[in-house]
Structure 1
Amino acid sequence: MTASLIPIWSVDVVGSILMIVFAFVSYGMSLRLKKRDPNNIILTYLLWVCLALFVFAISRSAGHLLKQIFLLIDRRDLWTAIQPFSGAVNTFTFIVVASVTLFFERTWVIYGTILKDRQALQNAHEELLYLNQNLEQLVEKRTEALVISEQKYRRIFEVSKDMILVTRRDGRIVNINPAGRNMIDVQSASGGEALDHQYFRDFLSGPGDWGAISRHIENRGFISSEEFDLVLKNGVRRRVLLSGSLAKSPSEDGETIHFLIKDIEQRRLMQKQMAQADKLASIGELSSGIAHEINNPLGIILGYTQLLLRGEDAESDRFNDLKTIEKHVQSCKAIVEDLLNFARTSSPQKENLDIHDIIEDVIGFVRHHSNLENIDINTDFGPRLPLARIDEKKIKQVLINLLMNAIHAVEREGTITIATGINAATGRITVEVSDTGHGIAKENLSRIFDPFFTTKPTGEGTGLGLSVSYGIIKGHGGNISVKSEPGQGAAFTLTLPVSPPNSGR
């Protein structure tokens, strides 16, 4: 039994016709979409694909229809003749579709880049539009921020107690804060802020100091915490701690060096005083031990000498020899006693006393026991001084020692002045003993309170007087200092505690 071919034929013919219809519809719709948006790359790609598929559908459907027609009229030979052409057209259309797809894949990448760039341009356009619309407000805010920043750093620059200095690389001063101006007395030629031809190296005490600073900055770009001596406006040298770095600012012409300079003179003096106190404390401990070891043999020598003197004729040579031994032993015991006084750590017996009464007693004692024929001792007492909290005997010992040193300094003719007052900063009593003598050499000032150090000729001083005085004043919780210039005399200043308010004598 032969099966009917009508269903197969119907599907082939109807399917081919529908394929042609759908091809026309698809191509028509893609063409209309392309006309609506000519620049859309996706629609362009869709149009080309629909066109290729349209050709494929026409070729494929026409081939199937012709095949069925030729088979109905029994002309299979005609179909055999045109079948290769139909297949070739179908293959060509698929090649076209593949080529279009490959081409548009690369085009899509480029299109994506173009979209990104267009979006970036759009964002930039919007930002520029915003800036243009709000330019005045933004400038005002930025200006206000800059003013606040400038005021903040200007205030730091102006109120700093340390010197802040800006120079060129050759050391020419560009700017300096008020603290620095006050320290080294830098002024502009016109009296304004500008500085004309003034160089920082001119204020350094050492001739090679600026060269050393320049080498540090040249090699490392900075200098950190180096000590130098500056010459201040009154000619006095002062130790400073200097740090600086090389900087280049767009607002300034060329490179500049920014310095921060800290005055460490007081710190250095304090360190020297602490070192001096430590040294005196060590010497005191050593002296105490030595004095006790020597004092006992001296006492024995003195005792036996005095026993021998009792049995000797006062006119004999032996008696004179023993008296010489006694004299020198007494001198040694006096030195040992001074050593013990220097090393002794016992607390002074303090009372509330009038310092002026003590000074008058000391002056009377010195005038009675010393030759003051051509030496004037003047007093300059401050009014209404409070009572001093002191040990009378020990303070008298200090004042007598200072007066005797002053008498020796002025030699046979001169003036000694004792002045009193109140230190406004500490509220303590000050006593200054000054003279018009030969003064103290600068190299000796740091050693003046050392035990056994003296500038007197051999045999005229033990070098313990000022050391003992130093210990007594420190034991009172006070201070003793000295100022002197060679040929212009010396001035010793005592600082003493005052009695508590409402306390009696």
Structure 2
Amino acid sequence: MQLPFWPVLLVDLVGSALMIVFSILCVGLSLKLRNQDRENVVWTYLLMVSHALTAFAVSRGVGHIAKELLILGGRSDIWAVLRPYSGSVNTITFCVVGAVTLFFERIWGVYQQVLRDKEALQKAHAELLFLNRHLEDLVQERTQELARSEGKYRRIFEVSRDMIAVVAADGTILDINPAGCEMLGIPHGVKQRVPDPADLGSFFANRRDWDRLRERILRECYVSDAETRLVAADGREVHVLLSAASECEVTRKTEIFHFVVKDISQRKVMQQQLLQADKLASIGQLAAGIAHEINNPLGIILGYTQLLIREEPEGTERLEDLRTIERHTRTCKTIVEDLLSFSRRAHTKKERASLHETIEEVLSVVRHNLELDQIRLEKDFDRSVPTMVLDRDKMRQVFMNLIMNAKQAIGKDGLIRVVTRWDSQRGQVRVIVSDNGCGMDPKVVPRIFDPFFTTKSTGEGTGLGLSVSYGIVKNHGGDILVESRLGEGSTFTVVLPVESEDRDTEKP
């Protein structure tokens, strides 16, 4: 049985027409979606596929309609000519659809990367907007932090009691704190006032020390606790302990040194005092033994000499010789007794007494002697000095030695000042005896408390006065300090402690 042909023809014609219509509607819808979100690559892909499918639908639908119409019209020969072209167009359009679909995977990857970049750009844009809106606040905050940091380190730089200096490799001082200016004896605060050229090496007592130090810093990049001597602008010699480190200054294209310098002059003085005390202790032990060995023969010589003097008649030359022997023997015994007083802690008779009265007793004895040589005597007593527990006889000996040494240093026509000061914070009384005499060489000062060391001419002194005085003051728990400059005079300071029970009895 043969089926009717017209249903197939109707489906082919209507289906081809509907395929064309539906594909065109798809293009319109995808175009609308793409216009709503042009940045969405999915809609772009959908639009491209819709166009390709529309081309395929039009090619296939028109081919089918033309085929049926030509066959019905009896023109199959024309269709036979058009058929290969219609098939080729269908194939090409279908390949385009496949190519678009395959290429979309690559486009999708690029699209995802674009989205990530876009997100990053949006985040950066938001941060830039935030910074732009709050830039002034952020700058102000950073400026305040920088100012606080600068202020903190500037305070450390300014208030440090050690010298802090920034120095160029050639020795030029770039910056220095007030303590450094004071140590070097240069004006505070204004770098331009530093002597020209501002060369730290010029302040070294030995220029070669600076050269060696500079080479070491350049070689090792740092120096730690190097001891040396500086000479300030006013001539003071300062013992220092310095540390330094170097860094490369990019703007200056040179090395710069950072110095921290500590004044150890006082430590040096303390070391010398400790060495002096140790040396005196050793000498004292030796002197004690020698003094005992000499004292006995001297006593025998003096005794026999006095016996011979009693039996010798007056006016003879023999009597004068014996008296000469007696006089020199007594002098020797005095020296030996001073040695014993220096070498051992003799029995003291300490009692509560006024320091000013003790000094006045000494001054009343020496005043006439000073006036004969036109030496003026000035007093400056601190009336707040309390009564003290001391051995008046021995302290009179100390002050007598100091004043007579000052007189001999002056010779004639000078000034001796005796000053007392009460330091209630430390519980100390200071007695200062100063003169404007010849002074002493700095090399001599460390030796002045050595037994038998004297700067006086032969026959003018034994060299035991200061040694004995030193021992007496030490026995009272005090100390003797000395400052002297050649040609300008000397200052001796006796430091005596005042016990707490003595302070309770202070009197005006």
* TM norm. shorter chain > 0.5: yes
Change (3 A) 1:195 1:414: closer
State how far apart, in whole Å, the 2-side matches of 1:305 and 1:193 are.
74
- Report the more deviating stretch, 320-329 or 225-234: 320-329
State how far apart, in whole Å, the 1-side matches of 2:183 and 2:317 are.
71
**Distance apart, 1:124 and its partner CA:** 2.4
Query: What is the identity, as a one-letter code, of the residue corresponding to 1:238?
Result: V
Secondary structure of the residue aligned to 1:211 is helix
Secondary structure of the residue aligned to 1:439 is coil
Query: What is the identity, as a one-letter code, of the residue corresponding to 1:417?
Result: I
Instruction: Give 1:129-278 correspondences, 5 Å limit.
Output: 129-187=129-187, 198-201=197-200, 202-248=202-248, 255-278=255-278
State how far apart, in whole Å, the 2-side matches of 1:467 and 1:428 are.
22
Partner of 2:449: 449
**Distance apart, 1:44 and its partner CA:** 11
- Report the more deviating stretch, 236-245 or 202-211: 202-211
Query: What is the identity, as a one-letter code, of the residue corresponding to 2:217?
Result: I
State how far apart, in whole Å, the 1-side matches of 2:238 and 2:444 are.
19
User: Any conservation in 2 of the 1:246–1:255 contact (CA below 8 Å)?
Assistant: yes
Partner of 1:478: 478
User: Any conservation in 2 of the 1:352–1:389 contact (CA below 8 Å)?
Assistant: yes
User: Any conservation in 2 of the 1:352–1:504 contact (CA below 8 Å)?
Assistant: no
Partner of 1:282: 282
**Distance apart, 1:373 and its partner CA:** 4.2
Partner of 1:378: 377
Query: What is the identity, as a one-letter code, of the residue corresponding to 2:341?
Result: N
**Distance apart, 1:306 and its partner CA:** 5.8
State how far apart, in whole Å, the 1-side matches of 2:150 and 2:306 are.
93
Query: What is the identity, as a one-letter code, of the residue corresponding to 1:452?
Result: F
Partner of 2:127: 127
State how far apart, in whole Å, the 2-side matches of 1:250 and 1:153 are.
22
**Could you tell me which of 499, 502, 505 is aligned with 1:502?**
505
Instruction: Give 1:11-410 correspondences, 5 Å limit.
Output: 116-187=116-187, 198-201=197-200, 202-248=202-248, 255-284=255-284, 286-287=285-286, 290-291=287-288, 293-298=289-294, 300-302=296-298, 304-305=300-301, 308=304, 314=311, 330-345=330-345, 348-366=348-366, 373-374=372-373, 376=375, 378-382=377-381, 384-386=383-385, 387-410=387-410
State how far apart, in whole Å, the 1-side matches of 2:43 and 2:431 are.
108
Secondary structure of the residue aligned to 1:493 is strand
**Distance apart, 1:254 and its partner CA:** 5.9
User: Any conservation in 1 of the 2:224–2:242 contact (CA below 8 Å)?
Assistant: yes
Query: What is the identity, as a one-letter code, of the residue corresponding to 1:380?
Result: K
Report Cα offsets for 1:242-265 as digits up to 9, x if no partner: 223233567878653332222222
Partner of 2:77: none
State how far apart, in whole Å, the 2-side matches of 1:487 and 1:192 are.
34
State how far apart, in whole Å, the 2-side matches of 1:446 and 1:460 are.
21
Change (3 A) 1:160 1:347: farther
Query: What is the identity, as a one-letter code, of the residue corresponding to 1:500?
Result: R
Partner of 1:420: 419
**Distance apart, 1:357 and its partner CA:** 2.9
State how far apart, in whole Å, the 1-side matches of 2:491 and 2:373 are.
20
Report Cα offsets for 1:213-255 as digits up to 9, x if no partner: 3213321223332233333343312222222323356787865
Query: What is the identity, as a one-letter code, of the residue corresponding to 1:374?
Result: D
Unaligned runs of 5+ in 1: 1-27, 49-96
State how far apart, in whole Å, the 2-side matches of 1:343 and 1:300 are.
17
Query: What is the identity, as a one-letter code, of the residue corresponding to 2:504?
Result: P
State how far apart, in whole Å, the 2-side matches of 1:428 and 1:463 are.
28
- C-alpha RMSD of matched pairs (Å): 5.1
Secondary structure of the residue aligned to 2:357 is helix
Secondary structure of the residue aligned to 1:420 is strand
Secondary structure of the residue aligned to 2:207 is coil
Change (3 A) 1:35 1:304: closer
Partner of 1:83: none
Query: What is the identity, as a one-letter code, of the residue corresponding to 1:334?
Result: T
Query: What is the identity, as a one-letter code, of the residue corresponding to 1:338?
Result: D
Q: Equivalent pairs: percent with the same residue? A: 43
User: Any conservation in 1 of the 2:370–2:407 contact (CA below 8 Å)?
Assistant: no
Partner of 2:491: 491
Change (3 A) 1:43 1:323: farther
Query: What is the identity, as a one-letter code, of the residue corresponding to 2:179?
Result: A
State how far apart, in whole Å, the 1-side matches of 2:306 and 2:258 are.
84
User: Any conservation in 1 of the 2:308–2:322 contact (CA below 8 Å)?
Assistant: no
State how far apart, in whole Å, the 1-side matches of 2:192 and 2:253 are.
15
Query: What is the identity, as a one-letter code, of the residue corresponding to 1:283?
Result: I
Change (3 A) 1:118 1:328: same
**Distance apart, 1:298 and its partner CA:** 4.0
State how far apart, in whole Å, the 2-side matches of 1:275 and 1:363 are.
33
Query: What is the identity, as a one-letter code, of the residue corresponding to 2:246?
Result: L
Partner of 2:79: none
**Distance apart, 1:446 and its partner CA:** 0.8
**Distance apart, 1:445 and its partner CA:** 0.4
Change (3 A) 1:318 1:107: farther
Report Cα offsets for 1:468-497 as digits up to 9, x if no partner: 111111222222122223334433222334
Report Cα offsets for 1:403-423 as digits up to 9, x if no partner: 343344345x34462412215
Change (3 A) 1:304 1:155: closer
Partner of 1:20: none
User: Any conservation in 2 of the 1:305–1:322 contact (CA below 8 Å)?
Assistant: no
State how far apart, in whole Å, the 1-side matches of 2:372 and 2:213 are.
58
User: Any conservation in 1 of the 2:370–2:376 contact (CA below 8 Å)?
Assistant: no
**Distance apart, 1:272 and its partner CA:** 2.2
Secondary structure of the residue aligned to 2:165 is strand
Partner of 1:71: none
Q: How many residues of Structure 1 are paired with residues of Structure 2 in the alignment?
A: 444
Secondary structure of the residue aligned to 1:208 is helix
User: Any conservation in 1 of the 2:382–2:422 contact (CA below 8 Å)?
Assistant: no
Change (3 A) 1:187 1:339: closer
State how far apart, in whole Å, the 1-side matches of 2:255 and 2:299 are.
83
